[in-house]
């Protein structure tokens, strides 16, 4: 019965990869270190090419495909799912905004897994909406750019081969205006991890997502070519505004986490011989119903069939992440003391589920962006 919800579809992950990811989730959580071997298996699986167009060696999958893979990964290993989510997001941004040279340089490697991508937008003090960046990009006399600053909470830090970095390139910080995501005068750069001055640092000591290599990335006088700019100079906000239009949703991670929690609940009920009790069966059905609703809104975001797909993506993140937190908490209550020990899977899933609410756009920012759309 575990995995029964949404189980009508053929799994995209092999049974072997699923088992390795699940085993790895148990070991990386106490260590708080990424599992480089399991990431190597993910890279070799062919799945990382999902968001890369066919002509660049990928599968040319849409957001439905991306959301499905992310949810399947998260059901067994949420940390690896967010590493993959960032990889898919950067692949999509390069496909959308990259020059032909950038696409040819990066997309084949992103497709075959030889290149793993990460996003480094956040920094301490920048605010969830990234309006107050301290990191700077300064154009040098020879046309190249010098990047300086310190990025925080970059998932995949130290394991990625390329970072999509957001810095302020306007000499003056723009006036702080309410609303929106990003600000005028900010620019994206594609920065290879081997660029001198790029210094990742783990050991953040996160409460959840402990195998995700979420950490700091220092940019210490890091010089990149003008050809490494992604999108318009000073116009990163327009790139950011388009992200939600793709339909790829962090809500997919939440759906996977909720599925993982549901599976724990079913296994527990089976093991304890509780499935014969109508009250237990009804509680499980209620959990399954909430999980199905979350999956449906994430699927709708991916399919981009609503009148405003960008808004649906925001709703999907909000709905699925809140649902996953609630489902994990309900499962923890169902398990009683069996789920209340150091290292209990449900405790880990609850911490992972909470982390999604803080990932960008944070849930509060999603609420702001949805409300802003009503007033234009």
Ligand X SMILES: Cc1cc2nc3c(=O)[nH]c(=O)nc-3n(C[C@H](O)[C@H](O)[C@H](O)COP(=O)(O)OP(=O)(O)OC[C@H]3O[C@@H](n4cnc5c(N)ncnc54)[C@H](O)[C@@H]3O)c2cc1C
Footprint on this chain of ligand X (rule: CB under 6 A):
82, 86, 119-122, 127-129, 153-155, 209, 214, 355, 358-360, 362, 364-365, 368
Detail the DSSP E strand segments found in the chain.
117-120, 136-139, 145-154, 162-168, 186-192, 198-201, 215-224, 229-230
- Token readout for 160 is 């990625």
Complex with ligand X: residue 226 or 364, whichever CB lies closer: 364
Complex with ligand X: residue 113 or 156, whichever CB lies closer: 156
Q: Taking the complex as a whole, how short is the minimal distance between the CB of residue 72 and ligand X, in angstroms?
A: 19
Phi, psi of 148 (to 5 degrees): -135, 140
The three-class DSSP label of residue 235 is strand
Complex with ligand X: residue 288 or 365, whichever CB lies closer: 365
Closest by CA position to 362, among listed 327, 320, 317: 317
Complex with ligand X: residue 78 or 113, whichever CB lies closer: 78
Q: Taking the complex as a whole, how short is the minimal distance between the CB of residue 10 and ligand X, in angstroms?
A: 30
Q: How many other C-beta atoms can be found within 10 angstroms of the C-beta atom of residue 277? A: 12
Q: Alpha-carbon distance 228 to 106, whole Å?
A: 11
Detail the DSSP E strand segments found in 47-155.
117-120, 136-139, 145-154
Complex with ligand X: residue 198 or 334, whichever CB lies closer: 198
Q: Alpha-carbon distance 300 to 247, whole Å?
A: 8
Q: Taking the complex as a whole, how short is the minimal distance between the CB of residue 147 and ligand X, in angstroms?
A: 15
Complex with ligand X: residue 22 or 362, whichever CB lies closer: 362
Residues in the chain: 376
Q: Taking the complex as a whole, how short is the minimal distance between the CB of residue 207 and ligand X, in angstroms?
A: 9
Contact 85, 254 (CB under 8 A): no
Q: Alpha-carbon distance 176 to 8, whole Å?
A: 49
Q: Taking the complex as a whole, how short is the minimal distance between the CB of residue 318 and ligand X, in angstroms?
A: 11
Task: Map 242-271 to HEC letters.
Answer: HHHHHCCCCHHHHHHHHHHHHHHHHHHHHH
Q: Taking the complex as a whole, how short is the minimal distance between the CB of residue 131 and ligand X, in angstroms?
A: 7
Complex with ligand X: residue 91 or 214, whichever CB lies closer: 214
């Amino acid at each position: 019965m575990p995995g029964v919800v949404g189980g009508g579809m053929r799994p995209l992950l092999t049974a072997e990869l699923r088992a390795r990811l699940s085993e790895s989730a148990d070991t990386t959580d106490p260590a708080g270190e990424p599992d480089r071997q399991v990431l190597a298996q993910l890279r070799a699986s062919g799945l990382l090419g999902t968001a890369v167009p066919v002509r660049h060696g990928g599968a040319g999958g849409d957001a439905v495909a991306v959301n499905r893979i992310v949810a399947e990964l998260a059901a067994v290993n949420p940390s690896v799912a967010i590493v993959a989510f960032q990889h898919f997001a950067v692949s999509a941004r390069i496909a959308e905004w990259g020059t032909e040279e950038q696409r040819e340089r990066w997309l084949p490697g992103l497709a075959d897994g030889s290149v793993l991508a990460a996003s480094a937008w956040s920094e301490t003090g920048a605010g969830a909406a990234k309006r107050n960046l301290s990191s700077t990009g300064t154009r040098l006399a020879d046309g190249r750019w010098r990047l300086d600053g310190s990025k925080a909470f970059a998932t995949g830090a130290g394991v990625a081969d390329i970072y999509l970095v957001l810095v302020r390139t306007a000499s003056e910080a723009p006036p702080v205006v309410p609303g929106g995501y990003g600000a005028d005068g900010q620019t994206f750069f594609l920065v290879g991890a081997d660029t001198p001055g790029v210094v990742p640092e783990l050991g953040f000591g996160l409460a959840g997502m402990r195998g995700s290599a979420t950490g700091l990335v220092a940019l210490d006088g890091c010089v990149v070519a003008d050809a490494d700019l992604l999108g318009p100079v000073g116009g990163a906000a327009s790139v950011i505004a388009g992200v939600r239009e793709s339909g790829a949703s962090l809500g997919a991670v939440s759906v996977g986490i909720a599925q993982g929690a549901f599976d724990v609940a079913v296994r527990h009920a089976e093991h304890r011989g509780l499935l014969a009790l109508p009250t237990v069966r009804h509680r499980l059905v209620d959990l399954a119903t909430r999980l199905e609703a979350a999956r449906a809104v994430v699927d709708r975001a991916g399919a981009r069939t609503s009148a405003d797909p960008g808004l649906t993506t925001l709703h999907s993140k909000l709905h699925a992440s809140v649902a996953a937190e609630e489902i994990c908490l309900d499962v923890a209550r169902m398990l009683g003391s069996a789920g209340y020990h150091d290292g209990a899977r449900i405790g880990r899933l609850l911490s992972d589920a909470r982390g999604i609410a803080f990932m960008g756009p944070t849930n509060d920012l999603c609420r702001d962006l949805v409300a802003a759309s009503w007033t234009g």
